Structures are given as structure tokens and as C-alpha cells.
């Protein structure tokens, strides 16, 4: 692609492709998205997915092309164990994983669900092992070694998941994971920014050191507490990580996990990296999951927000009217159909301008003079201010009838 920043579907910044901006990127081939909606996403306060709902969500994720689905933690409950078994038996294209604490007996439960892989968790930081778990370091290390060896013996692809990795002194962290890799087993390592406290610069610097030390694939699992989870995930992938852990629309405890949509679309439109996810299913899948979770998203939520492509500003409405026929990417960075959004729509509100009234006059089939247009605009602004909301088509027609003194204009 000669101009990857400008295609039929998106128009981003050519600065992203300057040699100095790209010279140190180390994207791996065949990057994977590891979806943790059914486990970490469900940890968001008050979110509950029933067995049949988890199966339905897994089907949606698979239809979208998600590479790996972390179906849950079977040791938590019989319902979760049953749901994981159901999902593993579906024969989906996605690889199905389960989650386990560093307890060898839990590996047997995981194995019996029929999943392909297991994510084995343990804190990496001495302070969390001591204060949050009440364990000694030796106990944590012994459990890590025994559990990962049990996973290997069970024939499970084993991802060693280091809770709170980013609050661990780096050399200490490298020594810990090296010991587990040597005396225990891991097919891959997950660096978890559990509290969302690292910066993209730090992640970019550390990931290559971990890969160099372990000689194993590195996965990245971030949280959004400082709003940097997406940037941190992208930085890790740029530095050589091969798997990103995400949830649908950032579902997750506290500030949430990393939104899958943001990562995948950023890779595609900003970095020219296509991971094979069907982006046109983003809105449909997000709405499906969020409705089941009973979680409302801001209407201007990136990519999947309900009102993302509604234009109220009169200035932008003017851009839309001038450009939509031949240059639709002059007023949005990517076409709505790329992510399954509704088409761009000019709406009426307090911030409307003359182009907004022209748009609605055409929609309604009326002809107006310049003077009438300004009178209608003032009336629309006043009504929106009074209502504290957008106007409906019926309210606009009522204003037209009143301002133009009769219904003749609407005939």
C-alpha cells in the first residue's frame, strides 16, 4: 500500500509512517488478540454473565475473528466450569483458554474442561505476595514451579501470568520469571500492568529485555487506571510482544481492561497492521456484550459510541454537506461502516448552524429564504436550550410551522 495512512476506509496521519517514527518498531508476524471479557471483564462491579450468556458471547467473539478466548476460571464455581466446558466443546476457530491460580490441583479442573491452554497467575512483586496474599516468596515460587509443571504434564499451552509485574524492580522480575521458566515451565509470559501504572516508554524499553532474557513469547495485559492501557499495549506490540490481552469495549474492574476495538483499529489504521479481526462487527458485538453486562457506555465512546457519528456543530455540518459525496474522510478519521456504525447524521441542537437548517429543510422538503433560515436557526437553538437535548423531526416541523406561520410550507 503506497499510502497506508489514506485508504478508502480511513485517513490518518502520514507522520505515523515517517522513517524516524517506524525505524524501531518490531511488530511480530501473526499478532493475536487474547480476549478476557469472560474472566477479567466479568470482574467489573455488578457484572454477571450466566452460562448460556457466556456461550453466546464466545460465539460472537469467534465470529469476529478473535484468536484466543479466555473462557473463565473453572475453579471459581460449577457454573463457570460448565460454561467453559460448553465453549471448549463448540469447535470454534478461536483457541479456548482457562485461567488458574498457582495451585496444582486447579490444573486438573482446567484440563477436564477441554480447553487448549491455561493462564496461570501469581504476583510478581514481593510486596503483593506478602501483603495481599500473606505468602512467603518461597511459597509463591514453589507454587509457580509446581503448577506450571502440572500444566505442562497436562498438555496445556501454559501462559505464566505475572500479577503486578510493573511494580516489581526489573532485575528482580527478570530473575523471578527466569527461575520459573527454568525450574518450572512456561510457553509464554504475560507482563501484567495490573494497576495500570506504567508508561508506554517504559513498556517499550522493558519488553525486549524480557524477550531477550527468556527467549519466549511475551504477552501484554494492561489496565486503564491512568488511561494509558491502549498506548501501553501498542507499545508492547511495537517492541516485540506477540499477544494483546483485551476485553470488549474495555469491560473490567476499576477503570477497566484495554478495549479490543481501540487496539485492533489502531493497529490497522495507524500502523498498517491487520490482525484479521472483522472490524465491521465491532458495534454489534459491543452492544451485545454491554447489554448482557448491563453496562452503559458514554455516547461519544471511541469507535462504538451511540452518538459518535451524529454531527451537531454547524461548522462540521458544513463540512459534511460539502464533502460527503466525494471526500467523506475530510470530517471523520474512518468511515462508519468500517466498524459497523450508523452513517454520519446531521442533528439539530444548541450548536447547530445555517448548514444544519439547510440539511433539515431539504430533509423535510421545504424551501426557505436566507431570512427564514436564520429565524429557524434561532428557534432551534432556543428549543434545544430549553429542552437540554437534541430536537426530534416532529419538533423541527412544529418550529417550521410556527416560524413560517402555517403548515403550507410543509405540504
pLDDT tens across 249-296, in order?
Answer: 999 999 999 999 999 999 999 999 999 999 999 999 999 999 999 999
What is the average pLDDT value for the chain, to the nearest integer? 96
**Residues with Cβ < 8 Å from 248, sequence gap 6 or more?**
35, 37, 41, 57, 61, 259, 260, 261, 285, 286, 289, 290
- Pair (276, 317) in one structural domain: no
Q: Across residues 387-392, what is the average pLDDT? A: 97
- Taking 3-state DSSP, the helix, strand and coil percentages for the chain, each rounded to the nearest 5, stand at 50, 15, 40
The pLDDT value recorded for residue 390 is: 97
Which among 388, 406, 387 is positioned nearest to 398, based on CA atoms?
406
**What would the grid cell of residue 133 be?**
496474599
- Pair (243, 289) in one structural domain: yes
What's the whole-model pTM score? Answer: 0.95
- Pair (114, 73) in one structural domain: yes
Considering the domain boundaries, does residue 298 fall inside one? no
Considering the domain boundaries, does residue 346 fall inside one? yes
- Pair (269, 180) in one structural domain: yes
pLDDT digits (tens, 9 = 90+) for 180-231: 999 999 999 999 999 999 999 999 999 999 999 999 999 999 999 999 999 9
The pLDDT value recorded for residue 2 is: 78
Side-chain-side CA neighbours of 210 within 13 Å: the count stands at 31
Residue 101 has pLDDT above 50, yes or no: yes
- Pair (261, 345) in one structural domain: no
The gap from C-alpha 160 to its chain's centroid, in whole angstroms, comes to: 23
Residue 306 has pLDDT above 70, yes or no: yes
Considering the domain boundaries, does residue 184 fall inside one? yes
The pLDDT value recorded for residue 134 is: 95
Of the residues 263, 293, 323, the one at which a domain ends:
293
Phi, psi dihedrals of residue 324, rounded to the nearest 5°:
-65, -30
- Pair (222, 115) in one structural domain: yes
- Pair (239, 322) in one structural domain: no
Could you list the beta-strand ranges (E) of 102-176: 117-123, 157-163
Of the residues 249, 264, 293, the one at which a domain ends:
293
Gap between the Cα atoms of 326 and 19, Å rounded: 31
Considering the domain boundaries, does residue 39 fall inside one? yes
Gap between the Cα atoms of 300 and 103, Å rounded: 43
Provide the domain count of the chain: 2
Q: Across residues 16-32, what is the average pLDDT? A: 95
| Burial readout 162-177 (b: 16 or more C-beta within 10 A, e: otherwise) | bbbbbbbeeeebbebb
Provide the pLDDT confidence category of residue 405 given band limits of 50, 70 and 90: confident
Considering the domain boundaries, does residue 3 fall inside one? no
From the number of C-beta atoms within 10 Å of its C-beta (0-12, 13-18, 19+), residue 252 rates as buried
- Pair (34, 146) in one structural domain: yes
The pLDDT value recorded for residue 407 is: 46
Show the CA angle centred on residue 167, arms to residues 234 and 32, nearest 5°: 30
Considering the domain boundaries, does residue 43 fall inside one? yes
pLDDT digits (tens, 9 = 90+) for 343-383: 999 999 999 999 999 999 999 999 999 999 999 999 999 99
Residue 76 has pLDDT above 90, yes or no: no
- Pair (229, 275) in one structural domain: yes
The pLDDT value recorded for residue 1 is: 59
Provide the pLDDT confidence category of residue 408 given band limits of 50, 70 and 90: low
Considering the domain boundaries, does residue 7 fall inside one? no
- Pair (277, 224) in one structural domain: yes
Q: Across residues 107-118, what is the average pLDDT? A: 98
Gap between the Cα atoms of 397 and 159, Å rounded: 61
pLDDT digits (tens, 9 = 90+) for 135-178: 999 999 999 999 999 999 999 999 999 999 999 999 999 999 99
The pLDDT value recorded for residue 41 is: 97
Of the residues 258, 293, 328, the one at which a domain ends:
293
- Pair (142, 220) in one structural domain: yes
- Pair (318, 289) in one structural domain: no
Instruction: CATH number of the domain at 212, please.
Output: 3.20.20.70
Considering the domain boundaries, does residue 265 fall inside one? yes
Gap between the Cα atoms of 307 and 301, Å rounded: 8
Element (H, E) at 220: strand 218-222
Residue 406 has pLDDT above 60, yes or no: no
Question: Which residues constitute the domain of residue 243?
Answer: 14-293
The pLDDT value recorded for residue 409 is: 45
Amino acid at each position: 500500500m503506497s499510502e497506508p495512512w489514506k485508504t478508502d476506509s480511513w485517513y490518518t496521519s502520514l507522520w505515523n509512517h515517517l522513517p524516524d517514527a517506524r525505524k524501531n518498531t518490531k511488530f511480530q508476524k501473526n499478532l493475536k488478540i487474547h480476549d478476557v471479557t469472560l474472566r477479567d471483564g466479568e470482574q467489573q462491579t455488578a457484572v454477571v454473565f450466566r452460562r448460556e450468556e457466556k456461550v453466546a458471547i464466545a460465539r460472537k467473539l469467534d465470529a469476529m475473528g478473535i484468536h484466543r478466548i479466555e473462557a473463565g476460571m473453572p475453579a471459581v464455581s460449577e457454573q463457570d466450569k460448565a460454561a467453559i466446558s460448553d465453549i471448549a466443546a463448540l469447535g470454534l476457530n478461536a483457541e479456548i483458554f482457562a485461567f488458574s491460580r498457582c495451585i496444582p490441583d486447579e490444573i486438573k479442573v482446567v484440563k477436564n474442561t477441554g480447553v487448549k491452554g491455561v493462564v496461570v497467575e501469581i504476583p510478581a512483586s514481593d510486596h503483593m505476595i506478602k501483603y495481599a496474599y500473606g505468602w512467603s516468596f518461597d511459597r509463591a515460587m514453589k507454587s509457580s514451579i509446581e503448577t506450571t509443571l502440572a500444566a505442562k504434564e497436562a498438555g496445556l499451552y501454559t501462559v505464566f501470568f505475572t500479577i503486578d509485574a510493573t511494580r516489581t524492580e526489573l532485575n528482580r522480575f527478570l530473575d523471578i520469571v527466569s527461575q520459573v521458566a527454568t525450574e518450572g515451565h512456561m510457553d509464554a509470559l504475560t507482563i501484567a500492568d495490573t494497576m495500570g501504572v506504567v508508561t508506554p516508554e517504559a513498556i517499550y524499553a522493558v519488553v525486549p529485555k524480557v524477550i531477550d532474557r527468556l527467549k519466549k513469547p511475551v504477552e501484554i495485559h494492561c489496565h486503564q487506571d491512568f488511561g494509558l492501557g491502549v498506548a501501553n499495549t501498542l507499545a508492547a506490540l511495537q517492541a516485540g510482544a506477540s499477544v494483546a490481552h483485551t476485553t470488549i469495549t474495555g469491560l473490567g474492574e476499576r477503570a477497566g481492561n484495554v478495549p479490543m476495538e481501540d487496539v485492533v483499529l489502531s493497529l490497522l489504521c495507524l500502523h498498517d497492521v491487520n490482525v484479521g479481526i472483522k472490524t465491521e462487527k465491532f458495534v454489534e458485538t459491543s452492544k451485545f456484550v454491554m447489554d448482557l453486562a448491563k453496562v452503559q457506555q458514554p455516547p461519544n465512546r471511541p469507535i462504538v459510541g451511540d452518538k459518535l457519528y451524529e454531527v451537531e456543530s454547524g461548522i462540521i455540518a458544513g463540512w459534511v454537506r460539502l464533502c460527503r459525496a466525494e471526500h467523506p474522510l475530510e470530517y471523520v478519521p474512518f468511515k462508519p461502516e468500517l466498524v459497523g456504525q450508523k452513517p454520519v447524521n446531521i442533528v439539530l441542537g444548541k450548536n447547530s448552524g445555517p448548514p444544519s437548517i439547510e440539511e433539515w429543510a431539504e430533509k423535510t422538503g421545504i424551501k426557505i429564504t436566507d431570512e427564514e433560515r436564520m429565524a429557524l436557526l434561532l428557534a432551534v437553538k432556543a428549543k434545544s436550550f430549553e429542552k437540554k437535548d437534541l430536537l426530534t423531526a416532529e419538533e423541527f416541523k412544529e418550529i417550521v410551522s410556527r416560524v413560517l406561520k402555517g403548515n403550507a410550507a410543509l405540504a
